[in-house]
Amino acid sequence: MPPLSLRLFVAIGIVAAPGAASALVTTYVDETAFLAAAGSVTTETFDGFVSDASFYNTSLDVGDFVIAATTSSVPTNFNEIDASPYEFVNLGSPYAKIGIDDGDTVTLTFDAPITAFGALFYGVNDDELRSQITVAGETVAHPVTSGSVFAYFGLISDTPFSVLTFTGLSDGGEAMAFDDATYSAISAPVPVPAAAPLLAGALGGLGLLARRRRRG
């Protein structure tokens, strides 16, 4: 039989490396249903921008999150906060205007982990699947619409995330806008992993074994 110290190290390896579980992401196309499920939320209206502000191949801090685009081929008047006079569509107030080709990304990086994000979109996935959203390792997309229309889209993840990424999927490009971005922050403490007590016990056992050997 292997010595006790070796068996304890094997036990540590087992409890410290549990299999990674996939996040469960639920999507919503109805704002009322999303808000009911999300609970307490914060909304970014972009109304603090009185002139256009670019995040084209750069980052822009809009408050609770930073937005940044990585692209090389779309017009430079996309990937900006579009303020009056509006160039793409009139949503009634400043909004985020996104342009991404196949493989391009626009990333929202939040100051603190969230579990829910939703917004009013315009022109997303018109007539074909042009973009998708990735959070917590999972990928979702708004259903394809008939033409450029206003469409709500929200998602709630059972795993907190700090980064939300829009990725372009079409050579024809994705030109869309979103406003009134609504998100919920994590207020409850993150639970201690179930393996932590076992790991602590194994480490304690190693310490006890070392002390016994020194006494011997």
Residue 74's pLDDT band (cuts 50, 70, 90): very high
C-alpha distances out from residue 198 to 4, 5, 21, Å: 16, 16, 19
pLDDT of residue 177: 98
pLDDT at residue number 171 = 87
Percent of the chain, pLDDT > 90? Answer: 72
Residue 149's nearest CA partner among 126, 171, 168 is 126
- How far is 183 from 156, CA to CA, in rounded Å? 9
pLDDT of 196 reads 53
Q: Out of 66-70, 121-125, 171-175, which region has the weakest mean confidence (pLDDT)?
A: 171-175
Angle at 38 between CA 37 and CA 41, to 5 degrees: 145
Q: Which of 4, 12, 2 is nearest to 210 (CA)?
A: 4
pLDDT tens, position by position, 86-121:
999 999 999 999 999 999 999 999 999 999 999 999
Q: List 165's β-bridge partners, or say none.
A: 107, 134
Distance CA 136, CA 117 (A): 12
Distance, in Å, from the CA atom of 159 to the CA atom of 136, rounded to the nearest integer, reads: 7
